[in-house]
C-alpha cells in the first residue's frame, strides 16, 4: 500500500495538501524501504528463492548427489507424470487432505466456540489445547505411534475393555492413513482454534444482541451472523491447512515411513525417498515442482473463489 | 558441472524439500590441523552400539604408532548411514575415511567418490588379506577399498527350549522341512513363544532362493530371474512362517530390535541372524548355539562384507591409507575383532583366525567357517536400494496376505526389470 501511495498518481492539478511523495521518494526512500525489508528479504532470497532456482535447475538433470549432474531436459517430468508411484503418492496426499481438513476445521471450530464462552479455567484450557501445536512433530508422532500400537497400545487396550477388537492401525494398510490423519488433526487443532477464536472475538457483540432482540435462535445466530463474519478466519485456516496438508511429511516418516506396503507414501515422502534413498535428486526436484504447481493452482483457485463466500465485515 | 552448481543443488534440494534433517556428525567440517597434527575423520556403521569400545582400542593403538594422526570416529546406525554419507559427499564435507558395504561399494566407486588407494599405498603390502576379499573391493583394477571385516548369517537356536519340548536340536544336515517341523512343535502362542524368526525381506529372499537352486538375476545380469518356480518356493518358505511359527507385523508393532529381544528373553527357539549378535548374547540365562542355516536343495549362507574406503577429496591420503590398513589388517585390529566376536577380519593368516574358535560361546563356532563353504552374495545393480525396497515391499504384501506369493513375485519382477532397463 505504502508504495502505491508513494507513486505520483494524484491528478496533476490537485492541490498539494500533504507531504508529496516526491519529497519522500527517490533512492533514499527506496533505501529506507529496502532497509526495513532486509530482515525478511535476506532469508527469503537465501533460503527460498535461490534454492528454488537451484532445484529447478536440478530438476532438469539426473543427479545421484555424488556424481556429476547429467542434463536430461524435461525427462524427469515426463517420467514422473507417467509413473504409477507418483500417481499413488498424489492420491495418498489427497486422501490425507480429505480426512484431515474437515476434521481439523470442525474440531477447531467446536473448541473455539466452546472456549469463547465464559467458563472456569478457560485460559488454562486454551493453553492446553494449543500445546500440541508447539510440540515437535517427532514427539507427537512417536506418542501416537505408541497410543495406536496394535499390540501394546493403550487405544486397543481400551477398545478391548469394551469388547471391541481394535484394528492394526498403522501396521494395517487400510488403517494407516486414518491413524496419521488422527494424529495430524489432534496436533493442529489448537492452531485452528486460536485463529478462529480471534475471529470470533472480533465479531461485534451488537450484532448478536440485535438478532437476539429480533428473536433469532442460537443456531440461526450462529449460522447467519457468526459463520459469515468468521469467514475471513475460516478462509485463512483453510488455505494454510490445505498447504500444510499437501506438504504432510514428518508424521508419515515417523509413524509409518510410507508403509505398510506403500499405503501412506505421500508426495513429500516420495521426494525424500527419491533423493536420499534412491539417489535421484533430479527426479525429486521435478516432483517438488509438480507439487508446487499443484499447491499454487489450488491456492489461486481459493483466492479467486473467496469472493463468493468470504465476507469482510 | 562445476562444484558450485553441485553445492547449490545440494542446498537447493535440502532446503526446498524442507526435510530439515539434522546432518549430525557426518557433516562436521574438516578440522584444521592443530600443532602439526593431522585430524583424520572416520565414519562407520558397524561399531555402534556394541563395539564402540573395541574400535576405540584399535584407534588408540593406531595413534600410538602414528602420533601425528588424530582419528576422529563418527558413527551412525546402518539405516541412516548411507543417507548421511551421501549428503556429506554432496555437500563437500565427506569424512576422510568411511566404511562401505559390498552392496554399496560399486555405486560409490563408479561415482568417483573414492580415492584409488594404489596412489597412496607406497610400498604397502596387501598379501595379508584373503585375496577374494581384497578383489571384492577392486574396480577396473584399482583398489578403492580395503576389506575390513566380514560376517555371515547362521541359525541361532535356544537349546533350553528344544530340550524342554523334547525336540532334537538343529544339525548341519537340516533342511527347510526339518526346520519347519521343529518350529511348529516349539511355537506356543499362548505363552508368547515362537518357533522361528526370519525377516521377510530382500536379503533373506535372495539367499533362500539360492538355497532352493534358483537365481535372482539372469546370467548376463540384465533381467530378473526370480519369478520362477524356485522363486515361488523360496518366497512361500519365508511367507508361510508369518502368523504361524513367527509373529505378524501387527504383533511386532514396529518395535525396534523385536527379534533380538524376543530371543534374549528366551521366547524364540530359532533365529536367522548374523554372527555380529554373538557379543550381545554373552550373558543370556539360557543355553544357545548356532548351526549353518538349513537349505532346501542346496546350502547357501549370506555373507556381508565391509570395507574401509577413503574419500577422493581427502587431503590426507597417506594417513587415510595407513588408518585403513591398520583398521583392516593389523594384528591389533584382527585380534580385537576376534576377541570381541566383532565380525571377522578378512586376513589370510589362519593362526589368528583360529583364535576365533577358542571362545567357548557359542560352542559350535566352527559353523561360522563352515558357512563360508557355500555362500550367497547379494545381487548388486546400479539402482540397488530401489531394487531392495521393491522386493521387500512385494514380499511383505504377500506376508500380510494381501497378495498371493505369485502375484507379489510377478509385480516385483516387473519393477526390478524396469530398474535394470
Mean pLDDT of B246-252: 86
- Regarding whether A300 and A169 lie in a shared domain, the answer is yes
pLDDT digit string, tens, across residues A10-65: 445 545 455 455 555 688 888 898 899 999 999 999 999 999 999 999 999 999 88
Of A271, A296, A282, residue with least CA distance to A89: A271
Q: Do A101 and A179 lie in a common domain?
A: yes
Total number of domains in chain A = 2
Which of B105-114, B169-178, B343-352 is modeled with the greatest confidence?
A: B169-178
Do A83 and A49 reside in the same domain of the chain? no
The pLDDT of B348-355, averaged and rounded, is 81
Say what the pLDDT of residue B24 is: 39
DSSP B378: P
- SS3 string of chain A? CHHHHHCCCCCCCCCCCCCCHHHHCHHHHHHHHHHHHHHHHHHHHHHHHHHHHHHHHHHCEECCCCCCCEECCCHHHHHHHCCHHHHHHHHHHHHHHHHHHHHHHHHHHHHHHHHCCCCCCHHHHHHHHHHHHHCCHHHHHHHHHHHCCCCCCHHHHHHHHCCCCCCCHHHCHHHHHHHHHHHHHHHHHHHHHHHHHHHHHCCCHHHHHHHHHCCCCHHHHHHHHHHHHHHHHHHHHHHHHHHHHHCCCHHHHHHCCCCCCCCCCCHHHHHHHHHHHCCCHHHHHHHHHHHHHHHHHHHHHHHHHHHHHCCCC
Is the pLDDT score of A8 beyond 90? no
Q: pTM, whole model, 2 decimals?
A: 0.80
For A275, the closest of B13, B111, B400 (CB atoms) is: B13
Q: What are the backbone angles phi and psi of residue B274, rounded to the nearest 5°?
A: -90, 160
Q: State the average pLDDT for chain B.
A: 87
Q: Given this model, what pLDDT does residue B35 score?
A: 59
Q: What is the mean pLDDT of residues A134-147?
A: 94
Chain A closest-CA separation from residue B249 CA (Å): 7
Same domain, A41 and A141: no
Domain of residue A36: give its range: 2-59
Name the band, by pLDDT with cuts 50, 70 and 90, for residue B381.
confident
pLDDT average, residue stretch A188-197: 95
- Cβ separation of A54 and B11 shorter than 8 Å? yes
Residue A278 sits at the chain B interface (C-beta within 8 Å): yes
Q: Is residue A68 part of a domain?
A: no
In chain B, the residue whose alpha carbon lies closest to the alpha carbon of A249 is B19
For B86, which of A65, A260, A272 is closest by C-beta distance? A65
Question: Which residue, among A52, A151, A252, would best test binding to B if mutated, counting the most B CBs under 10 Å from its CB?
Answer: A151
Give B120's Cβ-side CA count (13 Å radius). Answer: 23
Length of chain A as a residue count: 313
Furthest CA-CA distance within chain B: 69
Q: Do the domain assignments include residue A93? A: yes
**Hey, which of A133-147, B35-49, B75-89 has the most confident mean pLDDT?**
A133-147
In a domain, A65, yes or no: no
Residue A304 and residue A175 in one domain: yes
Superfamily (CATH) of domain B152-303+374-420: Periplasmic binding protein-like II (3.40.190.10)
From chain A, the residues in CB contact with B254 under 8 A are: 145, 149, 170-171
Average pLDDT rounded to a whole number, residues B381-386: 85
Of B1, B86, B249, the CB nearest to A260: B249
**pLDDT above 60: residue A181:** yes
- Cβ distance A285 to B16 less than 8 Å, yes or no, reads yes
A137 found inside a domain: yes
A83 inside 8 A of chain B by CB: no
Q: Is the pLDDT of residue B416 over 80?
A: yes
Q: Cα–Cα distance between B50 and B274 in angstroms, integer?
A: 14
Q: Pick the residue from chain A with its C-alpha nearest to B20.
A: A250
Average pLDDT over residues A100-126: 92
CA neighbor of A247 nearest in space, from A55, A42, A128, A100: A100
pLDDT for B12 beyond 60: no
Mean pLDDT of A127-136: 93
Task: Assess whether A32 and A100 both reside in one domain.
Answer: no
Whole-number percent of chain B with pLDDT over 90: 55
CA distance B215 to B231: 8
State the best of A152, A262, A279 to mutate against chain B, taking most chain B CBs within 10 Å: A279
- Residues of chain B within CATH 3.40.190.10 domain(s) are 3-149+305-367, 152-303+374-420
Residue A22 is predicted with a pLDDT of 54
Give the three-state DSSP class for B141: coil
* Inter-chain CB proximity B15 and A279 less than 8 Å: no
- B125 pLDDT above the threshold of 80: no
The reply to whether A99 falls in a domain is yes
pLDDT value for A24: 58
Instruction: Give the CA count within 13 Å in the CB-facing half-sphere of B97.
Output: 28
Residue A70 in domain: no
Is the Cβ–Cβ distance between B170 and B270 less than 8 Å?
yes
Are residue A34 and residue A98 in the same domain, yes or no? no
Output B350 or B217, whichever has higher pLDDT. B217
What is residue A215's predicted lDDT score, i.e. its pLDDT? 87
Instruction: Note the pLDDT of residue A11.
Output: 47
Mean pLDDT throughout B271-287? 90
If asked whether residues A54 and A98 sit together in one domain, one would say no
* Of residues A150, A268, A288, nearest to B250 (C-beta): A150
- Rounded Cα gap, residues A163 and A46, in angstroms: 57
Given the C-alpha cell 529381544, which residue does it identify? B261
Q: What mean pLDDT comes out for the span B393-406?
A: 92
Average pLDDT over chain A, rounded to an integer: 88
What is the reported pLDDT for B385?
86
Residues of A in contact with B6 (CB under 8 A): 68-69
A40 and A111 fall within a common domain: no
Residues A37 and A7 in one domain: yes
CA distances from A10 to A6, A13, A266 (A): 10, 8, 52
Is A231 a member of any domain? yes
State how far residue B114 is from chain A, nearest Cα, in angstroms: 10
Q: Which pLDDT value is given to residue B205?
A: 96
Residue that wins the pLDDT comparison between B125 and A11: B125
- Report yes or no: A69 at the B interface, CB cutoff 8 Å: yes
Please report, for the domain that includes residue A173, its CATH number: 1.10.3720.10
CATH class of the structural domain B3-149+305-367 = alpha beta
Least confident of A167-181, A243-257, B33-47, B159-173: B33-47
Please check whether residues A37 and A98 belong to one and the same domain: no
Give a yes or no: residue A214 inside a domain: yes
**Residue B26 confidence (pLDDT) above 70:** no
Q: Other C-beta atoms within 10 Å of B256: how many?
A: 8
Which are the contacts of A146, defined by CB distance < 8 A and separation ≥ 6? Answer: A153, A154
Which of B382, B316, B320, B311 shows the shortest CA–CA distance to B113? B311
Same domain for A104 and A205, yes or no, is yes
Q: Determine the straight-line distance between the first and last CA of chain B, rounded to whole angstroms.
A: 26
Q: What is the pLDDT of residue A17?
A: 53
Distances A192 to A96, A124, A310, B239 between C-alpha atoms, Å? 17, 17, 17, 46
Rg (C-alpha) for chain B, rounded Å, is 22
Q: Which residues of B touch A275 (CB under 8 A)?
A: 13, 17, 19
What does DSSP assign to residue B93? -
Using a CB-CB cut-off of 8 Å, the residues of chain A touching B87 are 65, 276
Amino acid at each position: 500500500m505504502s508504495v502505491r501511495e508513494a507513486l505520483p498518481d494524484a491528478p496533476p492539478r490537485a492541490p498539494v495538501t500533504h507531504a508529496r511523495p516526491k519529497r519522500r521518494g527517490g533512492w533514499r526512500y527506496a533505501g529506507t524501504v529496502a532497509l526495513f525489508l532486509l530482515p525478511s528479504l535476506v532469508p527469503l532470497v537465501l533460503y527460498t528463492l535461490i534454492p528454488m532456482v537451484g532445484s529447478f535447475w536440478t530438476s532438469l538433470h539426473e543427479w545421484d548427489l555424488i556424481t556429476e549432474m547429467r542434463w536430461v531436459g524435461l525427462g524427469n517430468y515426463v517420467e514422473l507424470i507417467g509413473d504409477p508411484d507418483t500417481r499413488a503418492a498424489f492420491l495418498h496426499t489427497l486422501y490425507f487432505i480429505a480426512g484431515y481438513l474437515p476434521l481439523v476445521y470442525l474440531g477447531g471450530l467446536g473448541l473455539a466456540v466452546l472456549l469463547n464462552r465464559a467458563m472456569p479455567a478457560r485460559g488454562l484450557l486454551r493453553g492446553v489445547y494449543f500445546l500440541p501445536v508447539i510440540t515437535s512433530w517427532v514427539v507427537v508422532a512417536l506418542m501416537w505411534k505408541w497410543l495406536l500400537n496394535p499390540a501394546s497400545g493403550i487405544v486397543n487396550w481400551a477398545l478391548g475393555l469394551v469388547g471391541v477388537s481394535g484394528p492394526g492401525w498403522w501396521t494395517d494398510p487400510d488403517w494407516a492413513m486414518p491413524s496419521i490423519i488422527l494424529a495430524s488433526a489432534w496436533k493442529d487443532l489448537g492452531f485452528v482454534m486460536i485463529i478462529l477464536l480471534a475471529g470470533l472475538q472480533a465479531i461485534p457483540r451488537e450484532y448478536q444482541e440485535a438478532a437476539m432482540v429480533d428473536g433469532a435462535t442460537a443456531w440461526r445466530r450462529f449460522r447467519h451472523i457468526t459463520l459469515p463474519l468468521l469467514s475471513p478466519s475460516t478462509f485463512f485456516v483453510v488455505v494454510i491447512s490445505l498447504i500444510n496438508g499437501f506438504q504432510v511429511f514428518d508424521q508419515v516418516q515417523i509413524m509409518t515411513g510410507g508403509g505398510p506396503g506403500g499405503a501412506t507414501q505421500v508426495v513429500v515422502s516420495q521426494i525424500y525417498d527419491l533423493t536420499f534413498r534412491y539417489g535421484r535428486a533430479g527426479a525429486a526436484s521435478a516432483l517438488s515442482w509438480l507439487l508446487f504447481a499443484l499447491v499454487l493452482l489450488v491456492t489461486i483457485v481459493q483466492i479467486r473463489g473467496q469472493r463468493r463466500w468470504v465476507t469482510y465485515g | 558441472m562445476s562444484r558450485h552448481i553441485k553445492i547449490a543443488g545440494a542446498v537447493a534440494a535440502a532446503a526446498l524439500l524442507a526435510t530439515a534433517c539434522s546432518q549430525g556428525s557426518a557433516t562436521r567440517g574438516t578440522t584444521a590441523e592443530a600443532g602439526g597434527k593431522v585430524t583424520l575423520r572416520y565414519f562407520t556403521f558397524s561399531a555402534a552400539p556394541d563395539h564402540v569400545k573395541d574400535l576405540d582400542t584399535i584407534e588408540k593403538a593406531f595413534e600410538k604408532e602414528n602420533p601425528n594422526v588424530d582419528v576422529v570416529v563418527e558413527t551412525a546406525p546402518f539405516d541412516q548411514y548411507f543417507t548421511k554419507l551421501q549428503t556429506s559427499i554432496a555437500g563437500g564435507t565427506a569424512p576422510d575415511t568411511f566404511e562401505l558395504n559390498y552392496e554399496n561399494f560399486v555405486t560409490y566407486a563408479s561415482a568417483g567418490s573414492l580415492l584409488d588407494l594404489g596412489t597412496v599405498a607406497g610400498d604397502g603390502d596387501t598379501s595379508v588379506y584373503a585375496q577374494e576379499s581384497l578383489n571384492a573391493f577392486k574396480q577396473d583394477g584399482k583398489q578403492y577399498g580395503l576389506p575390513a571385516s566380514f560376517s555371515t548369517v547362521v541359525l541361532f537356536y535356544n537349546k533350553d527350549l528344544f530340550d524342554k519340548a523334547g525336540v532334537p536340536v538343529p544339525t548341519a544336515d537340516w533342511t527347510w522341512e526339518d526346520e519347519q517341523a521343529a518350529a511348529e512343535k516349539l511355537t506356543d502362542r499362548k505363552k508368547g513363544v515362537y518357533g522361528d524368526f526370519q525377516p521377510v525381506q530382500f536379503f533373506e529372499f535372495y539367499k533362500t532362493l539360492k538355497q532352493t537352486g534358483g537365481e535372482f538375476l539372469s546370467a548376463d545380469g540384465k533381467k530378473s530371474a526370480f519369478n520362477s518356480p524356485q522363486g515361488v518356493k523360496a518366497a512361500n518358505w519365508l511367507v508361510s512362517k508369518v502368523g504361524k511359527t513367527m509373529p505378524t507385523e501387527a504383533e511386532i508393532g514396529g518395535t525396534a530390535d523385536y527379534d533380538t529381544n524376543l530371543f534374549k528373553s528366551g521366547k524364540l527357539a530359532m533365529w536367522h541372524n548374523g554372527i555380529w549378535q554373538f557379543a550381545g548374547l554373552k550373558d543370556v540365562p539360557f543355553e544357545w548355539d548356532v548351526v549353518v542355516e538349513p537349505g532346501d536343495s542346496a546350502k547357501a549362507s549370506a555373507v556381508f562384507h565391509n570395507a574401509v574406503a577413503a574419500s577422493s577429496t581427502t587431503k590426507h591420503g597417506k594417513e587415510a591409507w595407513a588408518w585403513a590398513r591398520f583398521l583392516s589388517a593389523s594384528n591389533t585390529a584382527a585380534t580385537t575383532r576376534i576377541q570381541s566376536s566383532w565380525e571377522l577380519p578378512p586376513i589370510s593368516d589362519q593362526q589368528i583366525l583360529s583364535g576365533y574358535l577358542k571362545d567357548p560361546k557359542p560352542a559350535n563356532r566352527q559353523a561360522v567357517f563352515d558357512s563360508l563353504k557355500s555362500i550367497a552374495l547379494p545381487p548388486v545393480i546400479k539402482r540397488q536400494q530401489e531394487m531392495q525396497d521393491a522386493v521387500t515391499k512385494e514380499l511383505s504384501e504377500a506376508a500380510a496376505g494381501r497378495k498371493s506369493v505369485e502375484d507379489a513375485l510377478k509385480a516385483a519382477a516387473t519393477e526390478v526389470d524396469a530398474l535394470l532397463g
